Amino acid sequence: MSDILDQLNSKQREAVEALTGPVMVIAGAGSGKTRVLTYRVAHLLNQGVDPFNILALTFTNKASREMKDRIIKLVGNADAKNVWMGTFHSVFARVLRSEAFRMGYPSHFSIYDTDDSKRLIKTIIKDQNLDDKIYSPGFVAHRISGAKSNLITAEAYNSDDEILSHDKMSGKPFLGEIYKQYKARCFRASAMDFDDLLLNTFLLLENFPDVLIRYQKKFNFILVDEYQDTNHAQYMILKKLAANDENICVVGDDAQSIYGFRGANIQNILNFKRDYPDALEFKLEQNYRSTQTIVKAANTVIVKNKDQIFKEIWTENEDGNLIELLKAQSDNEEGTLVANSIFETKMNSHVPDSAFAVLYRTNAQSRSIEEALRRLNIPYRIYGGLSFYNRKEIKDLLAYFRLSINNKDEEALKRVINYPARGIGKTTQENIIVIADKADKSLWEVIEEPHQNGLDLNSGTQGKISAFVTMIKSFSAQVKTKSAFDLAKLIAHSSAIMKDLNEDKTPEGISRYQNIEELLNAIKEFTDKPKEPLPGEEAKDTTEGNSIPTLDEFMQDVALLTDADVQDKDGGDKVSLMTIHAAKGLEFPYVFIVGLEENLFPSIQSLGSRADLEEERRLFYVALTRAEKRVTISFAENRYRWGNLTLCEPSRFIDEIDNKYIAFPKRASFQKTAQTGSFSLPSPVMTRKNLKKLGSLHKNVSGDNGSNDSQSIDKIIPGIEVEHARFGKGKVISVEGAGASKKASVFFKNVGQKQLLLQYARLRIVE
């Protein structure tokens, strides 16, 4: 093992060798965080620790798989597969399936995804005769999720006067009742949502001391990845599990805590030494990823945050290029500049498209980038779009799988009871739901014995429902006897989904059919793999009949996939487009960060408190540190928001980067070259002093082309001809309002009539 540890630098090695007691490893960007976790587990195994006594928690299944593979290679021992390693949700789902009976759930409970939860909430809102504009399903789902992340049960929510008073004052007094009904309906359907996997694990440990003691004794060593991203529920579960031995090692970087909107609490990592006063702290400050320019520039930004664990990230890598700053007149020109820069770098440096990533604060910003890339025939892929497992046809077939495994899964049943169409109409479905609600029974119980439950049906409908129930029961009977692939294929054909999709010969229909084929291929691959034991299980003899991978096991994996695990499979040599949140944990040689404007990045929602603004700064820090060789940041002087052209102020984050690390802006001349059809770029002409002038709403920063001052605005009257930088020449039709609210309706020859706010429109009067 000494040879293995020799592969670590001194700080990494110190962190790996400190095996007992509480340990916090502050791992800067690109400093080898995963390496420390991997070697630490390997070192524990080589020291004779039983793998069944090691709990290693990550935030993606991909991370845990890669770590486990690397550990096996390091120790050369297949026994390493028995380490309890996985995401918080996957590991605690395993625990809950073993202990579910204590909480009144079956071990085969369903796991509702976000869409399932929102559909159920929408149904409850409708049943309660509430306005879905006031109680929007998305808002209510977020509210319930926030409560669960803070370990507030439905009962606690409805007995807390402060919470109820807040809801009443905000005009949503029935949130507590919706939460109560939501919990009851999930329980009736034998279903938990993602937040329940944590909340119920905490309640299990809290309410059943024997279970807590058993798992405390079992998990002698606990390791946690990305500790800065943990929420209150995860924090409390870890506190309980580690209470005896306190052999807990957390690894993370407070400077990369960017998920506050999901409930992550940066105080968990900032206060670790308060929770464990004798904790050892190790700082990994050497960056192996980025150039010195990028590392130093990022340091000058993040140092502005008050709430942080101070560290000085450094690197022995080359100095590298200065950070390029692109100034565009509009968001469309910004897209052109970015695409053009990618094109030029590809040609000059002979690098593939996959070397580039364009990062933005909001998904809506991708439009102008996409259009510009398409014009230059540069292939790209968007992360965070509709993932494979969220496509309708895939969710339809998965709903059949879910219902076959758990007949009480109401969201799955409602999805497929009349798909493909089998004559069980909307009225019949509504009657089933009404009867189920009155009797407090599951929908399945009602349709399984319709007459006993008072469901009055004509003979034709009765026969169709009976046939549906019989079909699902036949699938259920084979869950444990057939392989996952054999049963999935049977369900796909017997349910008539394959037939229904095959009859649609449109390109969209063919694509949907092919997606089902791809799902079956994935299940076949799952079935053909040797069956690995679940955490805590001994490996089974593969000759046993129950050793075949079954459909319920496949569905457990699918239900627990994280965003990072379900990105589109559209790989290949393409530019990556994604939000900065989606980019965390990734790295690219060339990174473009677009939209560096006040109220966009930092977001306008973040300007109300220092804590929110500091999270935005950490987000910018994460964006900068994704780059290996070069960073380019850009902003637009004007951007359309809600149909209005708005003058934009450069982001404060640009000013926070030390001047010596920036090459100042370029602007497209809009002169297309005959050879490439792309726009030529003149030399940098701006200085920081001139850049700051863009922050003024009353000064003309574009010379003769602007008209922001009041005297110029007063000259714009109906009937005169004007010229707009984007729309070209046009005629003023009407003018209304006064002062900062003065607007003009202008008819442009190329784009038709537009209404413009004159303070920002910068119209030039055509003489």
CA dist 611 and 618 (Å) reads 11
Q: Tokens standing for 329?
A: 């007149």
CA dist 516 and 306 (Å) reads 51
Residue 100 is which amino acid? A
CA dist 751 and 517 (Å) reads 45
Q: Looking at the annotation, which residues are catalytic?
A: 33-34, 225-226, 256, 626
> In terms of Cα–Cα distance, which of 632, 653, 690 is closest to 322?
632
User: How many H-runs (helices) and E-runs (strands) does the chain carry?
Assistant: 33, 22
Give the bridge partners for 284, in sequence order. Answer: 27
Please say whether the beta carbons of 381 and 577 come within 8 A: yes
Give the bridge partners for 85, in sequence order. Answer: 56
Please say whether the beta carbons of 402 and 477 come within 8 A: no
Phi, psi at residue 230, to the nearest 5°?
A: -75, 145
Give the bridge partners for 636, in sequence order. Answer: 328
CA dist 322 and 662 (Å) reads 5
CA dist 465 and 428 (Å) reads 10
Cβ neighbours of residue 534 closer than 8 Å, sequence gap 6 or more: 94
CA dist 151 and 156 (Å) reads 9
Q: Tokens standing for 591?
A: 């990174």
Alpha-helix residue ranges (DSSP H) falling in 599-744 = 610-624, 652-656, 688-692, 710-714
DSSP string, 166-223: HHHHTT-TTHHHHHHHHHHHHHHTTEEEHHHHHHHHHHHHHH-HHHHHHHHHH-SEEE
Alpha-helix residue ranges (DSSP H) falling in 83-136 = 88-99, 114-127
